[in-house]
Amino acid sequence: MQGFFTKKNYLGILLGAVLLAIGFFLLGRGPADNKLALNVAPFILILAFAVVLPISILMGKGKEDKK
């Protein structure tokens, strides 16, 4: 029985998890007026939640993966 996810899917999910960890780490750093916590961290989190994870989950098997 073949699995639903391919190696590309797992790598995308891993990338999303790494981006989430980085985003939450930057969000929790230093004082509340930190540039990283206010500007960069929310961008990274939105990128991970709204782009990377959904694309990596929904990415279908290509022609070369169906063999």
Tell whether 2 is covered by a domain.
no
What's residue 12's pLDDT? 95
Distance CA 16, CA 57 (A): 10
Give me the number of domains the chain comprises: 1
Domain extent, residue 35, equals 7-58
Residue 23 lies in a domain: yes
- Cβ–Cβ under 8 Å, residues 48 and 20: yes
Q: Considering the domain boundaries, does residue 33 fall inside one?
A: yes
**pTM for this predicted structure:** 0.82
Question: Is 37 within the bounds of a domain?
Answer: yes
Which of 59, 47, 58, 52 minimizes the C-alpha distance to 15? 52
Q: Is residue 1 part of a domain?
A: no
| Residue range 1-38, pLDDT digits in tens | 577 889 999 999 999 999 999 999 999 888 888 888 88
Does the residue 45 lie in any domain?
A: yes
Is 54 within a domain?
yes
Any domain includes 66 = no
- State the Cα–Cα distance between residues 23 and 43, nearest whole angstrom: 8
